Amino acid sequence: MPEAEKRIIETCFSPALFEPERCTDSVVVVIDILRATSSICTAIENGAAGIIPVGEVEEARKYKKRGYLLAAERDGFVLDFADFGNSPFNFTRERVEGKTIAYSTTNGTYIINLASQAARVAVGSFLNISALITWIMQENRNVLLFCAGWKNRFNLEDTICAGACAERLLETSRFDTICDSTLAALDLWSMAKHDLRGYIEKAAQRTRLRDKGLDDCIDFCLSVDLTKKIPVMKNGILVENNL
């Protein structure tokens, strides 16, 4: 019996490098661990009915006027008309259960919408990484690990998470890669994984959050497998795809 063809892993380090036309038959996993995708995973785990990723500030304002619960920030600061911001600790069960939330962030929600032409779009983080890998395998498609970065630039933390995902996929023997970006992500992950918290101290986003007093969620965002739920895009809304 012939060996099944392996699926391919690619990694994109920032939205500036993203080519949507190449992903129409692929799974795209959006990664923004500090903090958007960690917050989305937390919201879905705590019973949110859905998350509407909103790209622009004025669009977010319109959702608020329509009565949606709005989580929105720019450069870490909560927008003055939003209900709350971008920390995963904002998305408590008491606040989000059963609700559809409009959500707008500096980087993460922008790339979720950018990836909308993909066959499937999912939200990834350390919080749901094992369930995410299982889901990707069930999808049986090529996969692009799409790092939010920071304002179209490379960042460490998302690339490290992409490397962790790539390592797990390669270990299944059902995936392969000839992508230098994926190989670089794997190398970064191999350096970081034995002291992830210490390595993240180098990250520019870690410094930004500390300088703004927003770094209380770092340890939480680096926690592994706190949820088995995978937020996936359906009709423009991120909803639960529970294994």
Would you state the pLDDT for residue 36? 97
Question: How many other C-beta atoms are found inside a 10 Å radius of the C-beta of residue 175?
Answer: 20
Question: How many other C-beta atoms are found inside a 10 Å radius of the C-beta of residue 180?
Answer: 10
Residue 237, helix vs strand vs coil? strand
User: What is the rounded (10 degree) CA torsion for 61, 147, 117, 141?
Assistant: -140
* CA–CA distance, 217 with 124 (Å, rounded to integer): 17
Contacts of 94 (CB under 8 A, 6+ apart): none
Query: Does the structure show a pLDDT above 90 at 162?
Result: yes
User: What is the rounded (10 degree) CA torsion for 175, 180, 186, 190?
Assistant: 140
Q: Could you write out the three-class secondary structure of 180-230? A: HHHHHHHHHHHHHHHHHHHHHCCCHHHHHHHHCCCHHHHHHHCCCCCCCEE
Would you state the pLDDT for residue 4? 77
Residue 83, helix vs strand vs coil? coil
Would you state the pLDDT for residue 115? 98
Cis peptide before 35 (omega within 30 of 0): yes
What backbone torsions phi and psi does residue 227 show, to the nearest 5 degrees? Answer: -145, 150
Query: Does the structure show a pLDDT above 90 at 3?
Result: no
* CA–CA distance, 72 with 113 (Å, rounded to integer): 15
Residue 172, helix vs strand vs coil? coil
Domain boundaries, the chain: 7-235
Contacts of 232 (CB under 8 A, 6+ apart): 120, 121, 122, 123, 238, 239, 240, 241
* Helix ranges (DSSP H) in the chain: 36-45, 57-65, 93-96, 108-114, 129-139, 156-171, 180-192, 196-200, 204-211, 218-221
Would you state the pLDDT for residue 242? 60
Assigned CATH class of 7-235? alpha beta
Considering the chain, what is the average pLDDT of its residues? 96
Q: What is the pLDDT of residues 122-155, one digit of tens each?
A: 999 999 999 999 999 999 999 999 999 999 999 9
Short-list 35, 36, 8, CA closest to 23: 8
Q: What is the pLDDT of residues 75-113, one digit of tens each?
A: 989 999 999 999 999 999 999 999 999 999 999 999 999
User: Could you give the count of Cα atoms lying within 13 Å of 115 in the half-sphere of its Cβ?
Assistant: 34
Q: Where does the pLDDT of residue 2 fall: very low under 50, low under 70, confident under 90, or very high at 90 and above?
A: low
Query: Does the structure show a pLDDT above 60 at 205?
Result: yes
Query: Does the structure show a pLDDT above 80 at 181?
Result: yes
